[in-house]
Structure 1
Amino acid sequence: MLECVIDDFAKDYLHGDLQEVREVMVRKVDGLSEYDIRRPLTSTGTNLLGLVKHLTLTEARYFGEVFGRPFPEPVPRWDDLEQRGRDLWVTEHETREEVVDRYRRAWEHSDATIAALAVDAPGHVPWWPRPDVVLFNVLVHVLTETNRHAGHADILREQLDGAVEVSGKGPEFWAERRAEIERAARAAG
């Protein structure tokens, strides 16, 4: 009985954290121009809306095909080398609304999978070296992946307009903090 309580707690806890970081990802594209949410901000082309699009595919695959519950919309196959990396950017024909709405539909599908399965429900991830997994493994993996990209999105958004999601800290605070860090770096250099 205690095992079931712990399993339910773990599943609910991870799922709750995943929902919070999903919302962060959607907020990162709010209030910016179409150009700014799509433009490549790193040498590899990383951009805000592309991260949202990538996480859509991540959720659709991991909480879909891994558990025999395919996402009802078409997604590229995991082994389609032609499509690899195309989920990390958005064409001029895709709108912000379409990308964000599809992400929300993917996470609704994921939520249904998470609700329907026990935390130890078996799945199969053919692209992993150890492909036999349980829902717990996938929850941790997708939460980690989403948090990783939320960190990228934090930096990209800060580059674009200085927006940070730390409450109570205004522009003056961050200007002073940056100056302090710059002084320390120069002194060490």
Structure 2
Amino acid sequence: MIDGFAKTDLHGRLRRDREALLWKLDGLSEYDARLPLTATNLLGLVKHLATVEARYFGEVFDRPSPEPLPRWQDSDGSDQWATEDETRARIIGFYQRTWEHSDATIDELPLDAPGQAPWWPGADPNTNLFAIMVHVLSESVRHAGHADILREGLDGRTGLRAEHEQQIDEEARATHRARIERVARAAASIKA
């Protein structure tokens, strides 16, 4: 029973974080969805996580994705940003189709189902569904956090879901940020 609960709980959290990531794109222009606020952009995070899920819930368990996968982990980071010919609809569609494939793997295999992740450098490539679920969930949480920060930088919107979002008081935000900056400057001037 615990195994079934763990699997259901992990899967539910993964589904929640998938939706949270897509929510970060709501209402953004094409430019803002692609704006490189760091070495990536919001749409690129979606593309990256779609590829991560497809590889981990597909190739690791010898259940390859039914569609061609983009390259990933290239030195140029091309799996983490959207090219001009990759439409938002195409990337989101790829992510959602990947969910279906990942969900089928999760639903059909037991938590101790063996798999291999040969790209894990220096590590034992042998793994199981439980470890992969934890790994992909942690990747999803990490990148949803990145997306939260990127979106806040664009227009101040933060949160896990729209129903939890509060109206942003820009004046209060600016005052708070100025206070933190004053503290940072004061701390930097103290000699250790």
Deviation at 1:28, TM superposition (A): 0.9
* AA matched with 1:164: T
Q: Which moved more, 1:61-70 or 1:179-188?
A: 179-188
Residue 119 of structure 1: how far off its partner (Å) = 0.7
Q: Secondary structure of the residue that 2:102 maps to in structure 1?
A: helix
2:4 to 8, 11, 14: 8
State the AA in 1 paired with 2:78: R
Provide, for residues 128-169 of structure 1, a one-character-per-residue CA deviation record: whole Å limited to 9, x for no partner: 121100100000000001111111111111111111116346
Q: In structure 1, what is the equivalent of residue 168 of structure 2?
A: 170
Partners of 2:25 and 2:33 within 8 A in 1? yes
What is the deviation of 1:183? Answer: 3.7
How far 1:40 sits from its partner (Å)? 1.1
| Other-structure match for 2:22 | 26
In the alignment, what sits opposite 2:34?
Answer: 38
2:115 match: secondary structure = strand
* Count of equivalent residues: 181
For 1:1-189, list aligned pairs within 5 A. Answer: 5-42=1-38, 45-76=39-70, 85-128=77-120, 129-165=123-159, 167-168=165-166, 170-171=168-169, 173-189=172-188
Tell me the alpha carbon deviations over residues 6-56 of structure 1, each in whole angstroms, 9 at most, x when there is no partner.
Answer: 1111111111111111001101111111111112112xx211000000001
Unaligned 5+ segments in structure 1 are none
Counterpart residue type for residue 157 of structure 2: A
Give TM-score, length-normalised by structure 2: 0.86
Q: Provide the identity percentage.
A: 60
Give the gaps of 5 or more residues in structure 2: none
In the TM superposition, what is the alpha-carbon distance from 1:91 to its structure 2 partner?
Answer: 1.3
One-letter amino acid matched to 1:25: L
User: What is the CA distance between 1:173 and its match in structure 2?
Assistant: 4.8
Distance 2:145 2:103 in 1: 23
Q: Is the 8 A contact 1:62 1:142 kept in 2?
A: yes
Aligned residue identity for 2:141 = N
Kindly state the Cα deviation for residue 179 of structure 1 after the two structures are TM-superposed. 3.7
Specify whether residues 168 and 85 from structure 1 end up closer, same or farther in structure 2 by C-alpha distance, changes over 3 A only: closer
**d(CA) in 2 for partners of 1:90, 1:168:** 29
| Deviation digits for residues 65-88 of structure 1 (CA, Å, limit 9, x no counterpart) | 111111100114679x68x73211
* Paired residues of 1:78 and 1:127 also in contact (CA < 8 A): no
8 Å CA contact retained: 1:119, 1:134: yes
